[in-house]
Amino acid sequence: MAEGYNLQRGMNFRVKGKDTVILMSVRRGAPYADRTEEDGQILIYEGHDVPRNINESTKAVNQPQFTPNGKLTQNGKFHKAAMDYRNGEPPELVKVYEKIKDGIWVYNGIFELIDAWQEKSGKRKVFKFKLRITDIALREREIMQQGVNDLDHNRMIPTSVKLEVWKRDKGKCVTCGSTDNLHFDHILPFSKGGTSLKTENIQLLCARHNLQKRDKIQ
């Protein structure tokens, strides 16, 4: 909903001229092997399989770079952008959403697409994409462009921590009980050395109380 259209796929390279968006999941049983490294600063995202209507056993064939008509698939578009970056172009900025539970998506912020390759996975080849979390200047630029809703960046709080906090705070703002537009808030801010790794330092806040808290700190 935040992106203003219905995301049908996990990989969305500038769909309809909009921002590039990926949906990730590190949950057990997730369809793709996404993972994070270096305390969540780096995301290794797996490319996507052929569409089911083309091949019944989508996990048996190489992940495609081109469609049958010779156009770039989403894998192909992301791969090309990563190669352009290697050749000196600015990196593609990618918004990352993470599924932490059925029906619960978390915005993880903006990442730069900095590398791509193909590697063997069993008997076939899959795409891998390397993304790096952007620096504070980029986060602030986004705040100016997007307004209030994107003020909070999760700094890749581990999924297990998010789930535990969600359960503990019962999916509500701890201040007012609102269930709308919730953010995972660092009780001691990340910028002041607060950790993302302990549930004791993370709480659920609605956008309004998240903003109020920030105003007080600044």
Residue 216 CB, nearest approach to Zn ion (Å): 14
Residue 183 CB, nearest approach to Zn ion (Å): 10
Residue 6 CB, nearest approach to Zn ion (Å): 28
* CB-based contact 204:178 (threshold 8 Å): no
Tokens of 56: 């019944």
Among 178, 181, 195, 199, binds Zn ion (CB under 5 A): 178
Among 175, 181, 195, 199, binds Zn ion (CB under 5 A): 175
Size of the site for Zn ion (CB under 5 A): 6
Binding mask 196-215 for Zn ion (x = CB under 5 A): ----------x--x------
Residue 161 CB, nearest approach to Zn ion (Å): 20
Beta bridge partners of 203: 185
Distance CA 37, CA 54 (A): 33
Q: Which one, 118 or 181, has the nearer CB to Zn ion?
A: 181
Q: Which one, 99 or 168, has the nearer CB to Zn ion?
A: 168
Distance CA 137, CA 14 (A): 22
Among 176, 188, 197, 217, binds Zn ion (CB under 5 A): 176
Distance CA 45, CA 20 (A): 14
Distance CA 94, CA 109 (A): 8
Tokens of 141: 């630029």
Residue 203 CB, nearest approach to Zn ion (Å): 11
List the one residue out of 202, 214, 103 whose CA is nearest residue 158: 202
Q: Which one, 21 or 106, has the nearer CB to Zn ion?
A: 106
Among 23, 24, 43, 173, binds Zn ion (CB under 5 A): 173
Query: How many degrees, rounded to 5, is the angle at CA 185 between CA 210 and CA 203?
Result: 110
Q: Which one, 178 or 195, has the nearer CB to Zn ion?
A: 178
Residue 133: Cβ-neighbour burial (10 angstroms; 0-12, 13-18, 19+): buried
* Residues making contact with Zn ion (CB under 5 A): 173, 175-176, 178, 206, 209
